[in-house]
A and B are shown apart, each in its own frame.
Chain A
Amino acid sequence: MKKILSVLLLLVLLLPAYALADEVVNVFNWEDYIDEAVLEQFTAETGIKVNYMNFTTVEDMIVQVEANPGAFDLCFPSDYIIERMIKKDMLAEINFDNVPNANQTIPYLQNPAYDPDNKYSVPYLWGTVGILYNTTKVDDPVTSWDILWNPKYASNVFMLDSIRDSMGITLKHLGFSLNTHDIPSIMAAKQKLIEQKQSGIVKAYQVDETKDKMVAGEAALAVVWSGDAQYAIDLNADLAYAVPEEGSNVWVDGMVIPKDAKNKENAEKLIDFLCRPEIAKANCEYVRYACPNAGAIELMGEVYTSNPVQNAPEELLNKCEFFHDIEPAFLSIYEAMWMEVKNTK
């Protein structure tokens, strides 16, 4: 009896040691932003357990990462947040010897403006901001943002209730950079948006509701992210998507490793795994945004390359811009001007 007890005791004592030896990687990603089957495959292949956690806004994510050092090994922030994290010295340099598949990144996204030396991030998914329109209600060609100011579509336009996006496309329409620090340009954009609201063109300012309402045929035109556009087009064949010729916002969600990550090598293994063409393909087909992985694009073939929502032409992309992180003091101008737009009756 005593012997059995002592063996049991020994086992109990050893258990925590085994638990510690268990390899883990703590992942912090957007909600519903990965094909979960892929994670199971990763664990089956490497024996590394994936602790998967979600956030709903990048602002929330950066707060969490700052407040809990060492809690996360791999995060999926957007471009301008990556830029802010680099500025704040929150990220570890990725050891690319452990991530051979990172060379699959398409040329357009190599050395991006937010991570110029490509040291801290690997693109995960990307996309554009554009106009989703109902072909049964719009007979003009959708080639310019100007159509959002056309009185013909009065009370038929959904705008994005998002400061940087709505101000950004208006700045683009007026021929300015969407990261501008030029105050007269910002004022001009505000005036333009007020004019749009006063002439009764805007039906609603919203974010998440837009895609389902467009499927239901609630409005003719809407400003949307390309992934939402793809979702809506899949459900309603009357819908189409266009990125105006003046250019627009192009964005990337990248994979980064926080500076105080406890399992950096495991995180690198997971990045490498997610950059494997078959895996990147599975995620792209699940989430429906654009794929940054050349190998995956080749695997998907015509279905992907002939789809203008996911595969925007290079010359158009060259007119698009990434968001840059605007410092809080200056951002207050954007915020105040957007509030004035929202307050217009």
Chain B
Amino acid sequence: MKTLIINLVRRISVPVVIFCLLLGTILTGCAQVATPPQSQQPADVKPIQSTALPVVAGIPRFKIATTTSLYDTGLWNYLEPMFEKKANVRLDIVYAGTGVALEYGKRGDVDAVVVHDPEAEAQFIADGYGINKRSFAFNHFLIAGPAADPAGIKGLSPEQAFKKIYEGGMADPSKVKFISRGDNSGTHSKEKLIWQAAGYKYAADVEKSGPWYVETGKGMGPCLLMANEQQAYLLADISTFLAYKGKVSVVPLVEQGALFLNVYDVMAINPDKITTAKMLPTANAFINWLMSDEVQDIIATYGVAEYGRSLFNPLKGGGCSEPGCPKLEDYTVPVK
């Protein structure tokens, strides 16, 4: 068996190995003489990639799961190297919908979660998985749709708009369609909440009620592209919508409404519940850092240069005054 393997490696793998080594050497050599990319604006700043190797001796890896909409805007690319330097850790950011992000937390695969679904978060904490929850940013959802607005929702409240879309879709699905994330993300939760407020039972009345209601199971970006292709309505967070502005022809039709409030929270994983979670001090430092003036100031301006307005609003400074906004201590009192 031993000679089998030795012979195998010699006879069959040799060309492959030689080639890989060769190519690796060539490319690495090239990478070393490469000029670093020019930095234009904050969002595009790419941290210097110190190494492509997986293991960096001595520096612990701190893993977080973050909601997709936050990740897609590029904000984390900007914040990541700052925290790595400050806390002397490698910050590994995994992105997923809120439902999946919380699942990663429950399984102990990450040390902290950044999500935006108040109800699911409350359950997560009640089950003992999450501790030290704080809020650090907010923005709003909006309902976008074709500029022709076949359901006639422009200027309505979110609940009224959903009602119109439902009625229009049921009457003629070829004219009125609605694209749903359908992935238990924070955005999906928010959508269900609005359906409920509009007087529908989501599972019974809306889901599978007809071809007008399209469940994609995809992220916000792909949903926007689909809505664009099908000229459909959808609920989107404003940051992703702005990132896609110019790529899609759907326009914001409903932007005002108490239900649209979208608060981003951060939590540590409870080491008492998940015994493998060993990074609580780092998680706490991370939570406190997100509430710090340094990060809050960045949030206040992030995206202005590119989109003409900030993608997220900082909580510090009393920016959030609507019903549903977090209490003062939820974004000011440091965790321990």
Is B truly associated with A?
no
Residues of A within 8 A of B (CB): none
Residues of B within 8 A of A (CB): none
